Amino acid sequence: MSQLPIRSMFIVAALMGGAAHASEITPEQAKQIETNLTSILPKGMIPAGAITVQAKGDAYQVTVDPMELFSLDKKKDVKISGLTPWVYRLRPTDDGLWQLDQQSNLDVKAQFQSPQGPTDLEYAIASYQYNGIFDPALRYAKSATFNAKNARITSKNPAQSFDIGFGSLDYSLSGEKGDNNTLNIKNTMAIKDYSQTMNPANKPSTLFQAASGAGEGNITGLSMQAIQEMASLLLQNVPNKHIRLDDKERLKTLFRGSFPLFENISQNIVYRDVQINTNGATFGVKSYGLDVNANGIRNDASYSIGLDLAGLKLPPGMLPPTFTALIPDDLHINVAASGINTQNGVVYMMENVDFTPGHPLTPPQTAEIRRQFFPDNTLTLTYDGSHAVSSLYDVTVTGKTIIAISGPDKPQADVTIRAKGLDKTIEYLSSHAKEEPKLGQAAFFMMMAKGFAKTDSNGDNLWHVESDSAGQIKINGHEFQLPSAPQQPIAPPAPKQ
């Protein structure tokens, strides 16, 4: 919720811009840092007095007045109160690094005109603290922490309103030099008492609450120098209506030269004791986790997403009691997409697509973009141990599916399904067939599926499912056609003697 890490990068840019490192705090050095800060944007864009640096004791005091910096008090349709100057403590360390600290709070109210109409915004943090150690050689933070207590942001306009808050947030990151002049970054996050309320106009509200959350992430091989050079070019063009042509070409050259931009990104987050209230119903989850991975802007790129749910609770009465036991207690889904020529696709779009409003893609452009991203007209989806467990079943799915991006070809599957305790599942479905005929139909299909299954040494049932582009299906090597369901429910099995 805070922009502190971004703001700190702005100050670090001044250190990268030529401020000599010296352990002695002097007014001359303070002036040099201030000059570097005010030179990041084109001349005249930073009002006098908006950024000041003073030598104070064993550190420099950097003061940024956002009201002056962004001329917020001169904007006709914007009213802001409580936005006070940001004050940082900047100190050179004995080992050639820079320490940046800030401790404060926020209580800002704003009124402005948005595309949805008149908007009221409130942003408050009872207290926060930021501490970072920056390495000029890395052009990034060697280590940094951010801690905040009792934060809340609310917004209201004719189209919608939202209210987001948390009791506490602890965030940390660290950077180290990677291969080939790149940067590796790690981050961790822990949050407590998180809540988010969304209120669309004329629609039911939704409330998401989590007692706690935690996450961690890694970026390897990040082309940080190219990113900073591109950011500098963009900043220099802020006063212009359009980016200068020579700068646009330079941006394209920098961007292409930075590929794959990063080697790998991974991020996961897990929320615990989650409740979701919507349309008068309350859903509960003991834990909810999300994982994402990507391996850069390259050809033959792969991207994956994973979802974990444990302890799912549905609202009372949402399902008949006989169906409740069929809801998974634990669910893990992991899907990876591969074989994507992201680099070729991005380069084609940079060179051939006009992104300005009023210039939609032409049919030939759409077809060529598709060909550049998917040269063989297919997308491969891989299922890495997707898993569902309840008291009645334990099912794992692994394998892959090849999907045609265009044309009449059917998906080509090569998937293995493993089920434990299938007899228990069938018995449950059959025993409730009279109450719920749909369960009887499900029992019929389960018994039929068992007939196609192989049994391994553990007693698990296995199905190796294959399908070709013509739609022909094989199960464990045998051709298969889906039969019709029985019209009458299957009678429950006779009681055991």
pLDDT value for 9: 57
pLDDT value for 301: 97
108 forms bridges with which residues in the sheet? 123
Could you give the angle at the alpha carbon of 474 between the alpha carbons of 471 and 476, nearest 5°? 160
Identify residue 334 by its one-letter amino acid code: N
- Dihedrals phi, psi of 341, to nearest 5 degrees: -85, 70
What lies within 8 Å, CB to CB, of 321 at 6+ separation is: none
Q: Looking up tokens 């045609």, which residue turns up?
A: 404
CB 87 within 8 A of CB 61: yes
Reading the chain (497 residues) residue by residue, the pLDDT tens digits are 444 455 565 666 555 554 555 678 999 999 988 888 888 777 778 888 899 999 999 999 999 999 998 888 888 889 999 999 999 999 988 888 899 999 999 999 999 998 889 999 999 999 999 999 988 877 788 999 999 999 999 999 999 999 999 999 999 999 999 998 899 999 999 999 999 999 999 899 999 999 999 999 999 999 988 998 898 888 888 878 888 999 999 999 999 999 999 999 999 999 999 999 998 899 999 999 999 999 999 999 999 999 999 999 999 889 888 998 899 999 999 999 999 999 999 999 999 998 888 889 999 999 999 999 999 999 999 998 799 999 999 999 999 999 999 999 999 999 999 999 999 999 999 999 998 899 999 999 999 899 889 999 888 999 999 999 999 999 999 988 765 555 555 555 554 44
Q: How far apart are CA 52 and CA 40, in angstroms?
A: 14
Q: How far apart are CA 93 and CA 176, in angstroms?
A: 18
Q: How far apart are CA 336 and CA 396, in angstroms?
A: 16
What lies within 8 Å, CB to CB, of 338 at 6+ separation is: 300, 301, 302, 303, 380, 382
Half-sphere exposure of 148 (CA within 13 A, CB side): 25
CB 147 within 8 A of CB 169: yes
pLDDT value for 231: 87
| Residue in 141, 140, 102 with CA at minimum distance from that of residue 2 | 102
Q: Residue 477: left if φ>0, alpha if ψ -120 to 50, beta else—which one?
A: left
3 state DSSP class of 235: helix
CB 126 within 8 A of CB 149: yes
* pTM of the full structure: 0.86
CA 199 to chain centroid: 22
In whole angstroms, how far apart are CA 382 and each of 99, 151, 258, 309?
45, 40, 28, 20
With DSSP H G I counted as helix, E B as strand and the rest as coil, what are the percentages for the chain, rounded to 5? 25, 45, 30
